[in-house]
Structure 1
């Protein structure tokens, strides 16, 4: 008789992070995968179901839908999404009705949904493996900057739940939890093309961020690498904090690598926050990412935490953790949307 497979539950399985985790665990026949999604009829959900993934409809605003979805899990991967309510027209209308910015509104949604996830996971803590809950998160900008960045909402919304809420309200769960901070997604240039690559001549491009040209930035190929990273973390003891990145380098170094990869001339300009906001079609988006770039200069994208474990540390602990380097990713990327501006 074949041994019973372990159950991993993946929140947001149709997104970049959840999809990457699902892809890695699909290659391990010891696991049965249950994926949570708001729309089980989406093409991506159907594609996963065709591969044997159990797709469960779940509403992160309703704990009652999460508790049965998590029941009996041996491993749970959690991710929350600040940008979904940030960009949704109905959420922006609700924010205006409440007299708050869409940035603050999205923060409140993400905090609420994160707490719901943690509270629901805590109901099945006994079934979880020793390191049975892995949460995607970021550093706490307000705290790490000593109050200089009080409105970096997509950072603080995650950190105020993972680890804060878990540690303060679910002691047993905290002892079975690991936290993974994610680096800058290498694909994020598509969301802010004008700041990443502004065409200044036929074959010349300018990057302009309110970030020091020398600040070390962690870069992550999220779709390819987060799954293997989470898989490796799941094999290690709980209670640790990690940073997932394939390459750490400055933005000026990023542009040097891109220039060598594409054959185009490049330059980097450290700009002011207001200039970035004015040059961003969505001003609220410009303010949110502008604060992120400033924060990345000082104290740093990771909040200045030098204790975070990285891929090389995981390998030293005996777990395989393959990561994609920035140059390797650039050579595979289709840059037509940049070059054909």
Structure 2
């Protein structure tokens, strides 16, 4: 019989779903998953696996407090892109006289604070390392003010850990923060920047990746669906109060393309481009989306995707502590991925 309860926010998403699958393997946990729409097919599939699905709205703290009560472990994740692509985002942003990027930042920031405020009310029931928050580095701070509009980073970092540490020291002592690397599957969102197909006069085909990141800048790569769950499970066995980088491989984009070309037996290279060049290569009419993404790639050069922060632990550090923490390497993921849609593009 389960002896502990884990709350998973966003259980139907990439990260929450991965965490659910890992904790389903541990019969000592009762899993309670939070979602805005319990009747969705994804939520119903999870319910069929024995997970308690609960309706909750991150915009309303009063829906969070009762479902958090008595929890032993809470996994938190917020989503900047949900409000950004919401049907009313542009209209609401226009009414407020701000960009849609800033509007989505405001929404995610408040959702994060609502989560923290609600979790703080059940801090006594939490395990020693009972609050694990998915986050990113604090771009505005870590860049010394050079990046002031990398909103999908700062809307997370300003709460996890900053707000929690300032407002709730008792909760901060039970919290671990997990930064996530570049999702390996993200090429599907902006394929025009990841893989540009070139055909020479002689008919020979090659591929070029064009980002604003410096060619030799190391960046973390994460198989989000396969690995976040195992990583969070391993972190839950570690002492509290630490920060982590979840990734299977850290390497430059130039190395990424060298490896990708080798695996697919095609010439492939990396070229650093300007901000405007990269924005124009992203296949979307939404310039604001392009600039949000491009700021992330530029930030990855200096100070670096992780903000060049101190004391970020990795899967290797967890393994050295005697805790199992398998991760998918970039090469392993590439070899399993079906690249036909990229290789056969017109």
TM-score range, shorter chain: over 0.9
**Per-residue CA shift, 1:62-118, capped at 9, x if unaligned?**
000000111110000000000111112211221122221111000000000000001
1:307 aligns with 2:305: no
1:160 aligns with 2:158: yes
- Give the structure 1 partner of residue 255 of structure 2: 253
SS at match of 2:250: strand
Q: Give RMSD over aligned pairs.
A: 1.0
Name which of structure 1's ranges 271-280 and 60-69 shifts more when overlaid on structure 2.
Answer: 271-280
Shift in Å at residue 182 of structure 1?
0.3
- What TM-score comes out, normalization by structure 2 length? 0.96
- Give the structure 1 partner of residue 101 of structure 2: 103
Match of 1:339 among 336, 339, 343: 343
- Give the structure 2 partner of residue 80 of structure 1: 78
- Give the structure 1 partner of residue 273 of structure 2: 271
- Give the structure 1 partner of residue 61 of structure 2: 63
- How do residues 101-180 of structure 1 correspond to structure 2 at under 5 angstroms? 101-180=99-178
- How do residues 218-297 of structure 1 correspond to structure 2 at under 5 angstroms? 218-280=220-282, 281=284, 282-297=286-301
Match of 1:183 among 181, 184, 187: 181
Match of 1:329 among 303, 326, 333: 333
Distance 1:83 1:174 in 2: 26
Aligned length: 339
Distance 2:189 2:85 in 1: 12
Name which of structure 1's ranges 117-126 and 278-287 shifts more when overlaid on structure 2.
Answer: 278-287
**Per-residue CA shift, 1:284-328, capped at 9, x if unaligned?**
111011111111000100101241000000001111000000010
**Per-residue CA shift, 1:178-224, capped at 9, x if unaligned?**
00000000001111110001111263111000010000000000000
Name which of structure 1's ranges 279-288 and 316-325 shifts more when overlaid on structure 2.
Answer: 279-288
| Gaps in structure 2 of 5+ consecutive residues | none
Distance 1:331 1:306 in 2: 33
**Per-residue CA shift, 1:158-179, capped at 9, x if unaligned?**
0000001101111111110000
- Give the structure 1 partner of residue 35 of structure 2: 37
- What TM-score comes out, normalization by structure 1 length? 0.98
Distance 1:304 1:264 in 2: 34
SS at match of 2:232: helix
Distance 1:46 1:262 in 2: 38
Structure 1 stretches of 4+ with a deviation exceeding 4 A read: none
